[in-house]
Amino acid sequence: MRLKGRVIYEGEAEGDALVTSQPISFYGGVDPGSGEIVERGHELRGECVKGRVLVFPYGKGSTVGSYILYRLRKGGLAPAAIINERCETIVAVGAIISEIPCVDMVDITKIGRDTRLRVSGSTLVS
Model pLDDT, residue 33 = 98
pLDDT of residue 113: 87
Range of the domain at 21: 2-125
Q: Treating both helix axes as pointing N-terminal to C-terminal, what angle do 64-74 and 89-98 enclose, rounded to 10 degrees? A: 30
Q: What are the CA-CA distances from residue 7 to residues 30, 88, 100, 105, 121 (Å)?
A: 24, 13, 11, 9, 6
Q: Is 34 a catalytic residue?
A: no
What CATH number is attached to the domain comprising 79? Answer: 3.50.30.10
Q: How many domains does the chain divide into?
A: 1
The pTM (predicted TM-score) of the whole model is 0.97
Query: Would you give per-residue pLDDT tens digits along the chain (126 residues)?
Result: 999 999 999 999 999 999 999 999 999 999 999 999 999 999 999 999 999 999 999 999 999 999 999 999 999 999 999 999 999 999 999 999 999 999 999 999 999 988 999 999 999 999
| Catalytic residue (one of 21, 34, 62, 122) | 62
